[in-house]
Structure 1
Amino acid sequence: MAPNDLPKQNRLMRKSAALIAILIGLSGKLSAQKDFPEANRYITRATSYGVGYTKILDTYLSPQEYMGVEGRIYRESMRLTRLFDGNISLQNIFQANLSYTHNKVDNNNTFAGLVNWDYGLHYQFRLGNNLKLLAGALGDFNCGFVYNLQNTNNPASAKAYINLAASGMAIYRFHIKNIPFVARYQANVPVAGVLFSPNYGQSYYEIFTLGNSDGVIKFTTPKTQPAIRQLLSLDFPVLSAKLRLSYLWDIQQSNVNQLKTHTYSHIFMAGFVKELYRVKHKDGDLLPSRMKAY
């Protein structure tokens, strides 16, 4: 080989090495892009049923606080999305409760119920292999009623409000004697919203029949609607299933139109967790999976 050919050979080798490095990098990216979308196909679903103690105040119906028992169903699903390199998870919660309460002198009773739907996103901060902190926001939709069994003029009070809520969560995985556990704490706090409330002394007949509806829709802040929902749960396997035990502390309050309301609920729940995989099918079939959605 002639001496003049050596520089050309060195340049060719350098170009070949650079091309190989680029191809390897592209291959890694393509592989990651191929595998990454699969993460958002894993869904964790849980359904829990619970019972607990509640206190209800609605000064539109009575100045007295009512206490009693509450039953609740709580359904939740979570999955990862493709947003922000797969660090965003989507949470969908549906819950409904029904309570039967009595006043302190035990001469009157109420029925109350509320349906709640939360839908939102969280950014996941992975602090090691076992701990995650999540922060995000939820759309919080609520509709319900309180019915007083002895009132005649105003026997019922309607509940309807929508909030944008800040949400935080901590998820910790650990083992006890080779048994895997998942502990989780979540808190949702409304920061702004819209609430329906009659004015003090105003009947629903005036609002919906006579059309006197001025001031019944109010914008709310943490000052006029201080509220928080806190959930503490523990997941662990039982035979071939996964059990979830949880405690819900639900505080809903409002102070608008010279009317005060609150509902304080302490609920203990039990249910089962399913981890599913959404296959690529036009109907979106779900198959059982052992993968973790969050």
Structure 2
Amino acid sequence: MMTARNMKLPKPIIPVICTVLLLCSSAMQAQLPATAEGLEQSRLVTRATMYGVGLTNVFDTYLSPQEYTGIDFRVSRESMRMTRWMDGRLSLQSFFQADLGYTRNKADNNNTFSALANWNYGLHYNFPITGNFKLLAGGLADLNGGFVYNLRNTNNPASARAYINLDVSGMAIWNLRIKNYPLTLRYQVNLPLMGVMFSPHYGQSYYEIFSLGNSSGVVKFTSLHNQPSLRQMLTADFPVGRAKMRFAYIWDAQQSHVNDIKTHTYSHVFMVGFVKELYLLKNKRKK
């Protein structure tokens, strides 16, 4: 398991990122011309709502030198659609998720509550490889806010989480059939490249920041050197009667080392929900 002490991404993930980037760059030479059918796809909106549960590992030296492990509850809402930009090759994604964690330390004498809301919004350029397989590459705005609350601390019982990033994002989408049964598989990875983060200095109270005005240096620039984080998601969409369901696995690793405070939240979450496909109404031209 990763620790915030070494602040490195797990080695098995690095080849995955490199492979995705290499495939995306090679796919740029295999672009297919846009068609009227592709432009018509800009009216199709795919929305998914999912609920899940999993395991989480929380660490924050502002509150405690110990790691806390426990359960993670999560809900997400996603919307994706093609646009008419760049000959209909750009897709727009909006992904919101919120999680609530309840964890306990290894000594089994203290608990924490944690919560984080995350919203990704951005664009991907689509590279069709075959009729049923395509790669996507793009960028996302990544907004995060939440807290960790330690049940035994009296002086500094809570730690706020607030940061904004610009992510590079890649996807692979594969539409296939298993004995004439349709199935859509998708893998997505989001890597924060740069951003800003709010963080008190080690030992500094929030009373000093907000009441006494000692706020110098509490907003810091972040990048891979002090916030090496990664989000991965694997989904499978399949029909059940007239409905379409989605199973998903999310591997979420958020970590930072800012103002002498080390933090991480590692989560493995399994989710399930329903997918809806809607068509936008055409705009009527005024005469």
Q: Which TM bucket (shorter chain)?
A: 0.7 to 0.9
1:98 alignment counterpart = 100
2:134 alignment counterpart = 132
1:85 alignment counterpart = 87
How far did 1:130 drift?
A: 1.1
Helix, strand or coil for the counterpart of 1:85? coil
2:119 alignment counterpart = 117
Per-residue Cα deviation, 1:85-106 (whole angstroms, up to 9, x for no partner): 0000000001000010000011
Aligned counterparts of 1:37 and 1:92: Cα–Cα separation in 2: 20
Q: What runs of 5+ residues in structure 2 fail to find an aligned partner?
A: 1-33
2:216 aligned with 1:214: yes
| Aligned residue type for 1:117 | W
Structure with the higher helix share, 1 or 2: 1
How far did 1:41 drift?
A: 1.1
Alignment of 1:155-166 (within 5 A): 155-166=157-168
Alignment of 1:176-255 (within 5 A): 176-255=178-257
Aligned counterparts of 1:278 and 1:237: Cα–Cα separation in 2: 22
Aligned residues: 251
Relative to structure 1, is the Cα distance of residues 224 and 124 closer, same or farther in structure 2, using a 3 angstrom cutoff?
Answer: same
1:23 alignment counterpart = none
Helix, strand or coil for the counterpart of 2:246? strand
Aligned counterparts of 1:35 and 1:133: Cα–Cα separation in 2: 19
* Fraction of identical pairs, as percent: 64
1:27 alignment counterpart = none
Aligned counterparts of 1:251 and 1:149: Cα–Cα separation in 2: 24
Q: CA RMSD in A?
A: 1.3
Aligned counterparts of 2:227 and 2:36: Cα–Cα separation in 1: 46
Q: What runs of 5+ residues in structure 1 fail to find an aligned partner?
A: 1-31, 283-294
**Could you tell me the TM-score, scaled by structure 1's length?**
0.83
Helix, strand or coil for the counterpart of 1:245? strand
| Aligned residue type for 1:225 | Q
How far did 1:268 drift?
A: 0.3
Rg (Cα) greater in structure:
1
Aligned counterparts of 1:245 and 1:187: Cα–Cα separation in 2: 17
